[in-house]
Structure 1
Amino acid sequence: MSSIDIFFIDYSNESRINRAIDSLAYLKHHIGKVTIFHYRKIHVSTPLTLNSRVIVMTDIGEQINQLVNSTSDYIMFMYSDEILTTEIYHSSLSYKEKKFIMTSQITVRNLSIKRPFIVSASLLKKYPLLSSKFVPFNEACFVAWLLNQNLQASSHYEGVRQLRKKIDTANMHKWKYLEKFTLKTKKIDTPISLSVMMSTYNMEKYIETALLSCLLQHEPFQHIYVIDDGSTDRTHDILAKWSTERDNITFLHKENGGKARALNSILPKINSDFILEVDGDDWLDPDAVTTLLNLLLSLPNDVSVLYGNLKIWKEVTPSLIKYKKSRIGKQIDSHTELFTYPHPLGPRIYRTDKLKGIGGFPVISFEDGRLYEDVSVLYNLLKTGRILYKDFSVYNVRQHDESITKKNQSKWNDFIVYLTTSPL
């Protein structure tokens, strides 16, 4: 058997790492290096026969990509308190494929996640892992890699189990998100077309996560429209890099004028039946397109907007985001109910011809049209038709200190007074 390097990722403590190392006994004559990725520097007592190192985990995708050139023929990934079971003794780990992928699956509370287990180094060199800046959590680098490259496993390994650990509510929601990369979805045969539009301003830290979530879908959007609203950071440069890589993305740039003006400049280019709005600091679940197309198939013709539930995540540090709560939507049938709704209302999927029919997003004099454009457009759409709530959850909201909504919460009451006393 060829040589194999072991990567231990995000284990709880030293004793569990040592227990996982002990479970590698069958492979001891084939192990090259043991690399332990942890959020802090720790000391692990490995056998003298093993060449081990500890790396403080930051951007796990980039860190592994940098190590691949100096690794053995194959890499084994062990995640978060996993150990090998005796099944390893009955498995043939002899492989000759240059594009070899063996997956493993872990199940927690009926949630199952499939991840790369053993991968040929040559394949990782050709198809690097995603950087952590492209996904909301480090753990998503691995499940997203399989979906992003549409890579098929050569085989599946059953002999991995996770040592018992406490899984709190926040982590369960992270697992639910990760599981969606694993689940197979049936392709929707429908004439309905769905695109996505995104306006972004100074979102260099988040824009690639938002954009990649639109691309990492089981079923693709018809088109992705992104406009940079005069950013003064690196957002424009980041988007320019992506503009040469995909043919189903349109990037635009304009002087800063607020989201309403930015989205209106996109609107004439949209020819899909429906358009989903995504903010540059949020992200979608990988089954978003499939879920929405299923709902849109039976959407009544008089409905201008479909909306659902929001999952709220709190950014604790730039590299750590935690689930906070789910905001379950409710049906709105009047302007009064719109004003008392715990905003934001979303995700918002607009019927394109209805949105164009009212002239797009109102650019009002209040704050020069730079605030609450989502409420203004819903206010107008309610005059001409219905907006409809359905119980679905595919949209993730990132709460952070730079959010424009958070900075302007005190202006909400003044906005309502303006909206109800000034014609739009």
Structure 2
Amino acid sequence: MRMESEVTIIIPTYNAGGFLKEAILTVFRQTYEHWKLIVVDDASTDESIALAKPYLADPRVTYMCNERNVGQSKTMNVGLAAVTTPYVIQLDADDWFFPYTLEVLLAEACKQPEYVGLISGNINSISINPSGGLFFNIVTKNRSFRDKYDFLLSNMSQWPRFYRTSTLKAIGGWPTDDPYEGRYMEDKRVLMRLIEVSHFHWIDVPLYIHRRHHHNQTNLVDIYREITEWNIRDALKRWGDEFEPVFLRHNGWIKIVDLQHKSLSN
């Protein structure tokens, strides 16, 4: 007897080449088999969809295609609108799951109260050189957060991002009201909104593999510096506009290092 699906994976993809097929394969190799997968193509012009086509025919997979390129957040929201499972998780088209990722996350989700809107673990970042060899493999540990300000000051994202669907839909999905309409840093933008209304839960297990390569959006240092500062200031304004952020700038990057209460700075 087939079990009811509890989780949907959304893969947003744009000109991902052979990476997309590899990402999908890590879904098919999950120890938890009753998943649903939504692949949302943001108007790709390369061969990536053709390479992944054999997997798109599986009844667990839904393929959607934007008429024009709209960026990461709007693409994720297209997929979210079609999600009917209690949980949803993002998998970027150039990244991987461990075989046990969904099974571990679902088991943990069953233990959590309704106010937990997101579950995450640790991340392996890898880089593969042109000959196919592993250039580096760095494990980054996540942590728990006391409140939204603790998360803000951590300068961290979450990996993977395993959302309670109802909570994610309640905040309107991925925000698109920034200067780039959600094209960049969609993770931190939605997390800043989510932590306003829910708690994050972390488990100390590696659950996600991030591939570093020269096409990563985060290589756009100037844009990411701008959107990082914009996102922080936008969040603080929503949270009562009590604090002025103190930033550290280094080698083109920016991070928040402190909060100064506005009443003390006047």
Coarse TM-score class (shorter-chain normalised): 0.7 to 0.9
1:222–1:272 CA contact under 8 A, matched in 2: no
1:236 aligned partner, one-letter code: I
Alignment of 1:302-317 (within 5 A): 302-317=115-130
Provide the rounded CA distance (Å) in 1 between the counterparts of 2:232 and 2:98: 36
Counterpart for residue 225 of structure 1: 38
Task: State the 1:385 CA deviation.
Answer: 1.4
Secondary structure, aligned partner of 2:191: helix
Residues 278 and 309 of structure 1, relative CA distance in 2, 3 Å threshold: same
Alignment match of 2:144 (pick from 319, 323, 331) = 331
1:380 aligned partner, one-letter code: R
Task: State the 1:192 CA deviation.
Answer: 7.7
Deviations 1:210-241 (A, max 9, x none): 00000011221420111111112112323444
Where does the alignment leave 5 or more consecutive residues of structure 2 unmatched? 239-266
Secondary structure, aligned partner of 2:201: strand
Counterpart for residue 252 of structure 1: 64
Alignment match of 1:419 (pick from 231, 239, 242) = 231
Alignment of 1:152-171 (within 5 A): none
Counterpart for residue 10 of structure 1: none
1:389 aligned partner, one-letter code: W
2:88 matches 1:268? no
Task: State the 1:352 CA deviation.
Answer: 0.3
Alignment match of 2:190 (pick from 343, 358, 377) = 377
Residues 291 and 317 of structure 1, relative CA distance in 2, 3 Å threshold: same
Provide the rounded CA distance (Å) in 2 between the counterparts of 1:376 and 1:208: 27
Once the two structures are aligned, what percentage of the paired residues are identical?
22
Task: State the 1:202 CA deviation.
Answer: 1.2
1:302–1:386 CA contact under 8 A, matched in 2: yes
Provide the rounded CA distance (Å) in 2 between the counterparts of 1:400 and 1:197: 21
1:309–1:392 CA contact under 8 A, matched in 2: yes
Provide the rounded CA distance (Å) in 2 between the counterparts of 1:300 and 1:247: 31
Task: State the 1:288 CA deviation.
Answer: 1.5
2:180 matches 1:367? yes
Counterpart for residue 93 of structure 2: 280
- Aligned length in residues: 233
Provide the rounded CA distance (Å) in 1 between the counterparts of 2:222 and 2:36: 36
Residues 294 and 234 of structure 1, relative CA distance in 2, 3 Å threshold: same
Tell which structure's C-alpha radius of gyration is larger.
1
Deviations 1:112-160 (A, max 9, x none): xxxxxxxxxxxxxxxxxxxxxxxxxxxxxxxxxxxxxxxxxxxxxxxxx
Counterpart for residue 69 of structure 1: none
Deviations 1:41-98 (A, max 9, x none): xxxxxxxxxxxxxxxxxxxxxxxxxxxxxxxxxxxxxxxxxxxxxxxxxxxxxxxxxx
Provide the rounded CA distance (Å) in 1 between the counterparts of 2:204 and 2:105: 11
Counterpart for residue 120 of structure 1: none
- Deviates further, 380-389 or 348-357: 380-389
Alignment match of 1:242 (pick from 21, 41, 55) = 55
2:43–2:69 CA contact under 8 A, matched in 1: yes
2:209 aligned partner, one-letter code: N
- Deviates further, 295-304 or 216-225: 216-225
Counterpart for residue 345 of structure 1: 158
Deviations 1:323-350 (A, max 9, x none): 4210000112434333343544211100
Provide the rounded CA distance (Å) in 1 between the counterparts of 2:233 and 2:215: 31
2:27 matches 1:195? no
1:192–1:297 CA contact under 8 A, matched in 2: no
Q: Which has the higher contact order (CA 8 A, sep 6+)?
A: 2
Counterpart for residue 7 of structure 1: none
Secondary structure, aligned partner of 1:355: helix
1:283–1:397 CA contact under 8 A, matched in 2: yes
1:356 aligned partner, one-letter code: K
Taking structure 2 as the reference length, what is the TM-score of the superposition? 0.81
1:415 aligned partner, one-letter code: I
Deviations 1:261-309 (A, max 9, x none): 0010011211111111111111111111221122111012101111110
1:347–1:395 CA contact under 8 A, matched in 2: yes
1:218–1:286 CA contact under 8 A, matched in 2: yes
Provide the rounded CA distance (Å) in 1 between the counterparts of 2:71 and 2:196: 24
- Deviates further, 319-328 or 203-212: 319-328
2:208 matches 1:395? yes
Provide the rounded CA distance (Å) in 1 between the counterparts of 2:135 and 2:232: 37
Task: State the 1:322 CA deviation.
Answer: 4.3
Counterpart for residue 109 of structure 2: 296
Residues 340 and 205 of structure 1, relative CA distance in 2, 3 Å threshold: farther
Residues 293 and 413 of structure 1, relative CA distance in 2, 3 Å threshold: same
1:228–1:235 CA contact under 8 A, matched in 2: no
2:30–2:99 CA contact under 8 A, matched in 1: yes
Where does the alignment leave 5 or more consecutive residues of structure 1 unmatched? 1-189
Alignment of 1:129-208 (within 5 A): 193-208=6-21
- Deviates further, 321-330 or 197-206: 321-330
1:234 aligned partner, one-letter code: E
Provide the rounded CA distance (Å) in 1 between the counterparts of 2:23 and 2:173: 23
Alignment of 1:82-161 (within 5 A): none
Alignment of 1:23-102 (within 5 A): none
1:196–1:224 CA contact under 8 A, matched in 2: yes
